[in-house]
Amino acid sequence: MNRDKEFEQLYNRAWAAGVAAATATRPATMVIGTPTAPFGNEIDYAKQIFVETEGCCGFAWVKIRPAGSAFGRWLKRTGKVRGVAYTGGYDIWIHDYNQSLARKEAHADAMAKVFTEAGITAYGQGRMD
């Protein structure tokens, strides 16, 4: 089996693990409203409130290092990544799950675990929006 086929299978296995992890994740529900006092922690329920069942908003990605590795070159050649990331290596961005940071991070971490087990240096990363 050629390397491209192996990398494709690895990527698909990692992606499937990410989807399973994100689906199993239950983000903390947030109640969003106007505080009763400036900078207060109590919500004024007399005013409009919003319930967000998917938790806080954010971004997540899988960092692959180094960019010049065989797997990194394959990611670039197949269009799964853009250019080299600002901090080096390649970033596989997780665009699914609307804005749910918890689901995106679960997906990225699960993908990184599969890549790491295959001998590729990978880290799940994320940040709140």
Residue 82, pLDDT score: 85
Provide mean pLDDT across the span 77-106. Answer: 93
Give me 25's structure tokens. Answer: 């994740």
Residue 1, pLDDT score: 55
Q: Is pLDDT of 76 > 60?
A: yes
Residue 98, pLDDT score: 93
Q: Is pLDDT of 83 > 90?
A: no
Whats the size of the chain, residue-wise? 129
Provide mean pLDDT across the span 43-57. Answer: 95
How many Cβ atoms are within 10 Å of 123's Cβ, its own excluded? 15
Rounded distance between C-alpha atoms, residue 83 and residue 43, angstroms: 44
Provide mean pLDDT across the span 51-68. Answer: 95
Provide mean pLDDT across the span 92-121. Answer: 97
What predicted TM-score, i.e. pTM, was given to this entire model?
Answer: 0.90
How many Å from the N-terminal Cα to the C-terminal Cα in the chain?
Answer: 42
Residue 92, pLDDT score: 97
One-letter amino acid identity for 109? D
